[in-house]
Amino acid sequence: MRPRLLALFLLAIAMPSYAMDGIADDPHLNVSPRTAEEIARIAAVTAPTSDFSAPEPFEGNPAGGATVRARTDANAFSQSSGNISFERELDFKVGNGLFRKLWVSSPSSTLASDGLGPLYNARSCQRCHLKDGRGHPPEGPDDSTVSMFLRFSVPASGEEALSDIEAFLLSAGAEGPRARPEPTYGGQLQDFSVAGHPAEGQMAITYVEETVALADGTEVSLRRPEYSVADPAYGPLHPDAMLSPRVAPQMIGLGLLEAIPASDILAHADPEDADGDGISGKAQVVWSFQHERAMLGRFGLKAGAPTVKEQSAAAFAGDIGISNPIFPSPGGDCTDRQAECRAGPHGDGDDRVFEIDDTGLELVTYYSRNLAVPARRDVDDAEVLRGKQVFYDAGCTACHTPKFVTHRLPDQPEQSFQLIWPYSDLLLHDMGDGLADNRPEGRATGREWRTAPLWGIGMTQQVSGHTYFLHDGRARSLLEAILWHDGEARMSRDHVANLPEPDRAALIRFLESL
C-alpha cells in the first residue's frame, strides 16, 4: 500500500465513518502524492520544538516562499504572494479590482456592476475587509457597523423534514440539524438596502465592564457585550431567535490554509479527548454547494465554509446580494416572507445569468488565496524567544498548532509544498460560556469556535487602526483576548493569569511578532 493511502487508512480507523467519504480535500485540487521520504521529513520539521534559545529554521518566513517583506504602512496585508509569477500578478490585480468594486442597484447603465441587494451589509468586499484586515465593532453611536454583522438562527424543531443535504450529512456521521435560518430575516441581519426597500434593522450593542484580578494584583477590565436588533422593519424576530455577532476576519494566508492536507488537520482532532489532556479538537463537516459533497470546513469563525471560493461566493450572496454560480439566488438572503425583496430589482434581467459570473468569482478567489503573510519581526529577540517559550509552556500550542506543510500542487505553485506557521489547527474547540454565542452551526455547538490563525495578529493596529480581537471584537488588547479564553483553554488562560509581569509581557511581545 502506498504511504499516502496507508496514512489515510490509519486515519479512517481512528475517525468516524465520514472521515474517508466526507472530510476530504477540494476535489478540484491537482494534488501530487507525498512520498515516504517526504512524510518523514514533514513529521520532523513540524514536530514541536523544545529549544527556545534561538529561532527555528525558516521561522521568520511564516508563509514559506509566499512570505513577503513586512511593510510598515497600512498596506501590509494587501501584497501578493512572494512567489507569485509575473503573469499571475495581473490576475491578482484584476481580482483586487473586483474585491474593491462598489456594486450599484439595478437597473443601471453599468451592467457589470449592478445587482446590489436589495438588502445587503456592504457594497463591496473591501468595505468589510478594509485593507484586507480585521473588522471592528462600532466605537460610538456615529461609527459604522459595516465590518460586523449578526448571524441569525432559530432552533430546529425536530419535526421538520430533513433536506437531502441534511439527511446525507446525518448518514455520514454528522449530527442532525440543530438550527434553521430565522424565518423572516434569514441567515443574517442586513442593515442596508437599495431605494424603496427598508433595511432589516440595526445591530445594537451594549457593554458591561467586568474586572479580573491577575495573580500579581494587576487588574484588567473585560467588556461583556449584549446584542439586540433595533427597529426591525419586517416584524418581530422569532421569540427563539439566536444572534451571533461576527467581525470580518483578516484575509492573509487563506490559500495556504486551504492547501493543508485534510488528513494533517484531522490528525490533530481528538473529539472524545482520548488522550485526557482536556483538549477536544473537533473537525467541522459542511456541505459544499460547489462540489455537492460533504467536506472539511476550514473558513469562517465556526469553519462553516470548505474552500476559499465557496466562502467568497457566500459573502457575495449574503453580504452584498450578488448572485453567482454557487449561490444563484438574485435576492441574496431575502426570505419567502420578504416578498418585495425577492421581487425587487436584480442584475440578472439582461444577458447575464449571474450578477457575478464564474470568471469574476475565480479572480476574486485567486486574489483572496494570494494575499500574502508578512515576514515575522524580531524573531531572534531575546524577549520574543522567552515569550515563545511561555506560549508553549502555557499549552497554547494544543490548539494554536504552529506548523504545517501544504500539499504539492502543480497548478498552484504559490501554495505548493510550503512550510507554514499559521498557529491554528483549524478545528472547533469549546471556549466556555463567556465566549458562547449559543448558536450551533453545523457540528459546532454554541460554545465552540474554530481556532483563529495568529499569523499577522501583531500588525492589527498598523493595518486596521485598532486592537480589537475575538469573534466580536470585544477584546481591546491581546491580554483581554487571552483572559476571555475558557472551556478547553481554561488551563492555558489560568497559566497566563498566574505569570509574573515580565513573563506576561514577553508572551505579548511574542504574539506581536507574529
Mean pLDDT, consecutive 10-residue segments, the chain of 514 residues? 30 35 74 92 96 98 98 98 97 98 87 89 96 94 88 81 63 63 96 95 96 97 97 96 96 98 96 92 92 93 97 97 94 93 78 89 98 98 98 98 97 97 98 96 94 98 98 98 98 98 98 98
pLDDT value for 175:
57
Residue 11's pLDDT is 32
Q: Which domain holds residue 297?
A: 3-513
CA distances to 52, 214, 366, 475 from 390, in Å: 10, 16, 37, 21
What gap in Å lies between CA 37 and CA 26, rounded to an integer?
24
User: Does residue 77 contact residue 458 with C-beta atoms inside 8 Å?
Assistant: no
Residue 254 grid coordinates: 487563506
Residue 142's pLDDT is what? 80
CB atoms within 10 A of CB 156: 15
Q: Are 418 and 255 in contact (CB under 8 A)?
A: no
| 302, 450 Cβ separation under 8 angstroms | yes
Query: Cα–Cα distance between 397 and 425 in angstroms, integer?
Result: 9
Q: What is the pLDDT of residue 178?
A: 72
Q: Is residue 477 a contact partner of residue 218, using CB atoms and an 8 Å limit?
A: no
pLDDT for res 169: 60
> Tell me, what's the pLDDT at 158?
65
Angle in degrees, CA 356, 359, 362, rounded to 5: 95
Torsion angle defined by CA atoms of residues 245, 136, 202 and 484, in that order, rounded to the nearest 10 degrees: 40
Using an 8 Å Cβ cutoff, are 69 and 63 in contact? no
How many structural domains comprise the chain? 1
**Intra-chain end-to-end CA distance of the chain, in Å:** 40
Q: What is this structure's pTM? A: 0.93
Burial 473-507 (b: 16+ CB within 10 A, else e): bbbbebbbbbbbbbbbbeebbebbbebeeebbbbb
Q: φ and ψ at 310, to 5 degrees?
A: -70, -35
Least Cα distance to 322 among 105, 107, 490 occurs for: 105
Three-class SS state of 230: strand
Between CA 254 and CA 129, with CA 510 as vertex, the angle to 5 degrees is 30
Residue labelled with grid coordinates 491580554: 479
pLDDT value of position 140? 82
DSSP summary character for residue 481: H
Model pLDDT, residue 17 = 36
